[in-house]
Amino acid sequence: MIVCGSSAAMATSGYLSWLRQEIDLPLRVLLTASAERFVQPQVAAWYADEVYTSADPTLNPTEFAKRSLGIVVLPATANTLAAAALGLAGNPAQTALLASDRPAIFFPSMNRSMWVKRVTQRHVEALRDEGHTVVEPQERVIFELWQRENAVGIAMPPPDAVAELIVSWLETTLSAGAEAAGAEAAEAEAAEAGAAEAETATGGVEGVEGSVGRAATA
């Protein structure tokens, strides 16, 4: 799970708590540098099996990606959405997303003005075209930081709903991954069988040619 630097990251512990209850898989968390302003690594470690910061010397973003069955980006800022859509690798989180062979699920968190911009929607469509999932934010009453008051805005779904979405997404992802692995294995087996048949056929031709040559000599 990648946690980005949105104010919604302050609720990370609530989301991790629900995920921990619903998912019986290793849970690894990568905090971006800006996310650390909203959530402390020690707090995330209460729920996660492993927690990394961007400055962690033990973090290898590519290894982080390859060990993951899928990557959850929550909250996903406009910056991270854009970077992922454009294939940028300017920080460890972006590098992990680019290096991953698995799909990712993004839970955008930004104000309405940013979300409705055409450039943001182009990035969303680009990610979906690549096979990733981008969950539409919900409209509800939230505390708008820029207004410093409660107002109707857009936000991520609540923790219980997010946990259900991720469980369903993981089931689909794992199923698709198993089918892809099976197809690759079948293709490899067919290619190996074809190569063996070709080798046998070549040996047979060489044997016939040798027999013809010996007969001609006699």
Across residues 185-198, what is the average pLDDT? 62
76 part of a folded domain: yes
Domain that holds residue 80: 2-160
**Residue 186 forms part of a structural domain:** no
Residue 45 inside a domain? The answer is: yes
The kind and range of the H/E element at 66 are helix 61-66
Mean pLDDT of all residues belonging to the chain: 87
Cα separation, 180 vs 199, in Å, equals 28
CA distances from 218 to 55, 64, 215 (A): 81, 70, 5
Q: State phi, psi for 150 to the nearest 5 degrees.
A: -70, 140
For CA atoms 53, 59, 62, 63, the dihedral sign is negative
Residue 215 belongs to some domain of the structure: no
CATH code assigned at 60: 3.40.50.1950
SS3 166: helix
DSSP string for residues in 123-163: HHHHHHHTT-EEPPPEEEEEEETTTTEEEEEEEPPPHHHHH
DSSP H or E segment with residue 69: none
Residue found under tokens 């910061």: 53
- pLDDT, tens digit, 9 for 90 and up, residues 4-18: 999 999 999 999 999
> Per-residue pLDDT for 218 more than 70?
no
Please indicate, yes or no, if residue 167 is contained in any of the structural domains.
Answer: no
Residue 138 · residue 187 · CB < 8 Å:
no
Flag whether 169 is in a domain: no
Pairing of strands 149-155, 138-144: antiparallel
What is the reported pTM? Answer: 0.80
In a domain, 25, yes or no: yes
Name beta bridge partners: 72.
105
The pLDDT value recorded for residue 136 is 97
Residue 10 in any domain: the answer is yes
Place of tokens 């469509």: 125
pLDDT exceeds cutoff 60 at 101: yes
Does residue 22 register a pLDDT over 70? yes
Counted domains in the chain? 1
